[in-house]
């Protein structure tokens, strides 16, 4: 009775542990990262700040208090308010609206960069998990060979070179296995930081997604970085319009108040205008504004050419990795399995010594490891391509 009770409790405990492990696909990981406020907080605050500045973009400056005194008249106090033509305030508000649009694109760019980082981290965790599983299998095989070689050497059935070769190879695989475990733990720390997950998480197995290669030139309108560069051109153009409108006259006006009751004249009023007489410095500001537009356009065109080059390079890389992955899946994997099977049969039949058998096993496992590397390289090339064409 007690044994049955403990058995049922054990099953319930294992079910609870299994239920606590979350299985997550890349889309869910990206959604969790985007929903975690700390990942986007700086960009969101920057957008909030620019929107707050919009309310004061078209405000007039604060009034000034002036005082006038002469030896023959009592003290006169006045308030002076300066203001520009309406076009200046309109251009200031439009300029701030363009800056808000820029910060919105920068927020979108931050989100897009975060998507790429999360997907790359997800892929790396998949790869390291599969690599640890493969190395654990290799470790069990080579540790068994090591123990067998030491026993046969002690019995005088193999020479020292064969025993040393088996021991060295087994120790190397054990070291690779331990290093991969440490690498996985480090990568999981980064993945948990992005997604905010504290529980144990299970990811999908490492497989090659079926994605079509998009040919032709990239549509730069779908790339966030290109949209940011285009927006910087728009800001430079709006800044130039604001500078041109500020070259107009500036006006000021305000009342004058007497400070003594014996002051018998009526309440006064003053008004004036500020004229842009210094043409040289004004022209230099306009010319600098025009140059700023040219700089922004040149930067946009350079980045567009660079983006097209990176895109074509990414297509080539993806095609290369797809061919490589096809080779490992269709040819190398079956060859590795055949090498292991034949080598084991020949070794058991006494037709292979330890060194030849180890060499065959190393070649077979290298093919299997190459298949994992090809899966990761194909996944990275696909993420880069989708990042560039705006479909990530």
All residues at 6 or more sequence positions from 45 whose CB lies less than 8 Å from its CB, including other chains: none
Determine the average pLDDT of the residues in 293-309.
93
pLDDT in tens, 204-240: 888 877 665 555 556 666 788 899 999 999 999 999 9
pLDDT one-digit tens code per residue, 69-89: 777 667 778 888 888 888 888
Percent of the chain whose pLDDT exceeds 70:
88
Domain assignment of residue 336, yes or no: no
Instruction: Tell me the C-alpha distance between 249 and 312, whole Å.
Output: 53
What per-residue confidence (pLDDT) applies to 22? 60
What b/e string do you get for 235-268 counting C-beta neighbours within 10 Å, with b at 16 or more? bbbbbbebbbbbeeeeebebebebeeeeeeeeee
- Of 392 and 112, which is predicted with more confidence? 112
Cα–Cα distance list, 212 to 354, 382, 388 (Å):
46, 10, 15
Q: Is the pLDDT of residue 175 over 60?
A: yes
Phi, psi of 196 (to 5 degrees): 75, 20
- 279 domain residue, yes or no: yes
Whether the pLDDT of residue 142 is over 50: the answer is yes
CB atoms within 10 A of CB 214: 16
Quick one: pLDDT at residue 252? 83
| Position 1 in a domain | no
Evaluate whether residue 293 is within a structural domain.
yes
Report the pLDDT value the prediction gives residue 384, as an integer from 0 to 100.
92
* Listed ranges 58-67, 125-134, 247-256; the one with the highest mean pLDDT: 125-134
318: buried, middle or exposed (CB in 10 Å: 19+, 13-18, 0-12)? buried
- Judge whether residue 156 has pLDDT over 80: yes
Find the CATH number of the domain harbouring 28.
Answer: 1.20.1600.10
CA dist 48 → 39, 79, 85, 111 (Å): 16, 35, 29, 16
In a domain, 53, yes or no: yes
Residue 64 forms part of a structural domain: yes
Cα 179 to Cα 234: distance, rounded to the nearest angstrom: 51
Mean pLDDT, residues 84-106 taken together: 92
Specify whether the CB–CB gap between 119 and 392 falls below 8 A: yes
Residues above pLDDT 90, as percent of the chain: 48
Under 8 Å between Cβ of 300 and 229: yes
Strands 201-203 and 22-24: parallel
How many structural domains comprise the chain?
Answer: 1
Q: Which of 347, 377, 32 is nearest to 194 (CA)?
A: 32
Between 62-66, 118-122, 141-145, 330-334, the lowest mean confidence (pLDDT) is in 62-66
Report the alpha-carbon distance of residue 326 to residue 258 in Å, rounded. Answer: 94
What pTM was estimated for this model as a whole? 0.83
Q: Are 103 and 50 in contact (CB under 8 A)?
A: yes
* Residues contacting 230, CB < 8 A, separation 6+: 300
Look at residue 264 in the predicted model and tell me its pLDDT: 57
| CA atoms of 136 and 149, how far apart (whole Å) | 20
Q: Do the domain assignments include residue 350?
A: no
What is the residue-wise DSSP string for 133-178?
HHHHHHHHHHHHHHHHHHHHHHTTSS-HHHHHHHHHHHHHHHHHHH
Give the mean pLDDT of 370-387.
93
- On whether the CB atoms of residues 333 and 371 are closer than 8 A, the answer is yes
Give the model's pLDDT for residue 18. 42
Q: Give the per-residue pLDDT at 12.
A: 39
Instruction: Kindly report the number of other CB atoms within 10 A of residue 225's CB atom.
Output: 21
- pLDDT value for 366: 93
In a domain, 382, yes or no: no
Structural domain for 131, as ranges: 22-308
Residue 351: Cβ within 10 Å count = 11
Predicted confidence (pLDDT) per residue in 4-21, tens digit: 433 334 433 333 334 445
Range 303-329 average pLDDT? 92
Q: How far is CA 249 from the centre of its chain?
A: 48
305 DSSP assignment: H
- Banded model confidence at residue 249, pLDDT cuts 50, 70, 90: confident
By C-alpha distance, which of 210, 200, 209, 206 is closest to 23?
A: 200
Mean pLDDT within 188-198: 92
- At residue 228, the pLDDT reads 93
Q: Is the pLDDT of residue 267 over 80?
A: no
């Amino acid at each position: 009775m007690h044994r049955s009770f403990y058995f049922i409790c054990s099953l319930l405990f294992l079910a609870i542990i299994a239920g606590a492990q979350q299985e997550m696909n890349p889309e869910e990981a990206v959604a969790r990262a985007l929903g975690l406020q700390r990942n986007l907080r700086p960009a969101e605050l920057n957008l909030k700040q620019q929107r707050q500045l919009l309310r004061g973009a078209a405000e007039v400056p604060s009034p000034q208090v002036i005082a006038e005194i002469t030896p023959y008249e009592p003290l006169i106090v006045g308030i002076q308010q300066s203001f520009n033509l309406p076009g200046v305030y309109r251009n200031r508000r439009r300029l701030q609206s363009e800056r808000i649009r820029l910060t919105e694109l920068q927020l979108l760019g931050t989100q897009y960069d975060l998507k790429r980082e999360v997907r790359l981290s997800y892929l790396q965790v998949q790869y390291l998990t599969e690599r640890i599983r493969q190395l654990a299998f290799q470790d069990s095989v080579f540790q068994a060979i090591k123990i067998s070689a030491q026993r046969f050497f002690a019995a005088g059935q193999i020479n020292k070179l064969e025993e040393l070769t088996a021991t060295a190879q087994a120790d190397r695989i054990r070291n690779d296995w331990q290093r991969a475990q440490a690498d996985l733990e480090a990568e999981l720390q980064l993945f948990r930081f992005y997604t905010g997950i504290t529980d144990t998480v299970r990811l999908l197995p490492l497989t090659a997604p079926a994605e079509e290669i998009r040919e032709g030139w990239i549509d730069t309108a779908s790339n966030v970085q290109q949209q940011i560069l285009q927006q910087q051109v728009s800001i430079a153009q709006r800044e130039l319009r604001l500078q041109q409108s500020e070259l107009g006259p500036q006006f000021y006006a305000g009342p004058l108040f007497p400070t003594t009751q014996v002051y018998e004249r009526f309440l006064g009023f003053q008004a004036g205008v500020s004229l842009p007489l210094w043409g040289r410095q004004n022209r230099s500001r306009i010319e600098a504004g025009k140059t700023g537009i040219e700089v922004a356009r040149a930067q946009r065109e350079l980045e567009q050419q660079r983006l097209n080059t990176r895109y074509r390079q990414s297509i080539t890389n993806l095609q290369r990795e797809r061919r490589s992955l096809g080779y490992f899946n269709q040819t190398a994997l079956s060859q590795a399995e055949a090498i292991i099977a034949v080598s084991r049969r020949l070794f058991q039949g006494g037709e292979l010594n330890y060194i030849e058998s180890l060499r065959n096993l190393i070649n077979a496992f290298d093919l299997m490891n190459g298949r994992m590397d090809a899966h990761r390289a194909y996944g990275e090339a696909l993420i880069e391509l989708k990042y560039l064409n705006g479909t990530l």
